[in-house]
Amino acid sequence: MLTISRELVDLIVAHAREDHPDEACGVIAGRDGVPERYIRMENAERSPTFYRFDSMEQFRVWREMDDRDEEPVVIYHSHTATEAYPSRTDISYASEPYAHYVLYSTELDQFRSFRIVDGVVEEEEVKILDVEG
């Protein structure tokens, strides 16, 4: 199960809507499986049907996470005309076995999370925490 704050969900959804009709993408870094720090990334493809992290940006972000003793807890991207379910390409590029792969469909307003390990996709429950201050 992915447990995530309403604030982080809202940031993902806002990014997806802002970049529409292109797919949006990014990472939420954290420790011990807890998503904490939102990192918006650019879709190097600038495409409505495909996303790819810019390799230099990804190198910098992953190095920064390493330096901060963080891990990629959530890797997210949007789908603009289909349901929020990993495509064959998404599955083939999923290389972080402990990450939650979040997809948001701007077409259907769907927010879903998956584990993808060795090409096997398993949907998981999402628990959104409303933090009151």
Domain boundaries, the chain: 2-129
pLDDT at 44: 96
Q: State whether CATH 3.40.50.2300 applies to domain 2-129.
A: no
- Token pair 């190097």 in the structure block, residue: 44
Q: CB-based burial of residue 116 (10 Å sphere; 0-12 exposed, 13-18 middle, 19+ buried)?
A: buried
- Token pair 């990334």 in the structure block, residue: 41
pLDDT at 131: 75
Backbone angles phi, psi at 34, to 5 degrees: -100, 115
Task: State how far the alpha carbon of 20 is from the alpha carbons of 11, 80, 107, 108, in Å.
Answer: 14, 7, 10, 13
C-alpha 10/C-alpha 92 separation (Å) is 27
pLDDT at 20: 96
Q: Enumerate residue ranges in the chain where pLDDT < 50.
A: none
pLDDT at 132: 63
